[in-house]
Amino acid sequence: MATVNVTLSLSSTDLFAKQNLSFTETDILAPAGDQQLVGRLYTTGSGTEDGIATKAIAGTGQRCYVFLHNLSTTTGEYIKISARRAAFGTDSTVNDFFAQLGPGEFLFAPLSDMYQLDVEPATGNPVLEYVLMEKQTV
Amino acid sequence: MANANLKATFSISSSDLFDTISLAKTVSNSLTIDGDNRQGLTTMKTSTAYADLNVEALSGSSAGLKKAYVYIKNTDSTDELIIADDGNAIFMRLAPGEFTFYPSADNTKIQCKSSANNPVVEFMILEVS
């Protein structure tokens, strides 16, 4: 079983007038699924959902750790992230997205309850780098 | 409310996820917080029924609509936290000790419940206009 170290740091001096924000979280992940991916995707364009997983996300709860990073630096080129819940080979429901990455933004999440993770740009063809680590085998 | 800046940095590394490559990546971003709902670090005891994490509906109209930067951590050592969108569709399960940071979008609320018992969720929500 592999070991993956993750660290998140968040800080701000002007979010609140009376309080500064600064903290760090760390975790040691142990993904054991039969699908571990790292890649770079040139998104097809608005109106087309590109899937990241190469096969259906499996295991109890269909769980996977996901890191996504929108490499675009162009204003407006944000990427919508949606869950494909019905079946691996079909597009997710229109507007069934739960996150969006603006240019330069990233996310890290232990996602679940989906067969596939779809990405669709609002405009242009922003490049997405990703790591998808399935948590459990079937 | 004046705009604020949130610095976010994330690192991921592994020497044994793949046989042929090692993984080591750090990304940083400076995020502008300009929405009207700015919830700092909060802890809340959960139950097996959904509770909203946001205190008012997410309503921003900029890119992606209803956007907010969201941090959530499961502080429990036993039970899971289940995260769902405003249509009760589950998209995330936080095992004990796990955390997430993501830009939520297209949902007026973020719901959380436990798999069992009453684990404590730690969270922060910073809305974008």
Window 50-69 of B, Cβ < 8 Å to A: 63-64, 67
Chain centre distance of CA B19: 32
Residues in A closer than 8 angstroms to B105, CB to CB, are: 80, 97-100
Mutate to test the interface with A, among B3, B7, B10 (most CBs of A within 10 A): B10
Q: A31-134 maps to which CATH number?
A: 2.60.120.10
Residues in A closer than 8 angstroms to B94, CB to CB, are: 110
> What chain B residue is nearest to A61 in terms of C-alpha separation?
B93
Tens-digit pLDDT profile for residues A103-119 = 999 999 999 999 999 99
d(CA B29, CA B11): 12
Tens-digit pLDDT profile for residues B32-76 = 999 999 999 999 999 999 999 999 999 999 867 899 999 999 999
Other CB atoms within a 10 A radius of the CB of residue A49 amount to: 19
- Whether A92 shows a pLDDT value over 70: the answer reads no
**Interface confidence: ipTM more than 0.90:** yes
How high is the pLDDT of residue A88? 81
Mutate to test the interface with B, among A100, A115, A130, A131 (most CBs of B within 10 A): A100
pTM beyond 0.90, yes or no: yes
Q: B33-127 maps to which CATH number?
A: 2.60.120.10
Domain ranges of chain B: 33-127
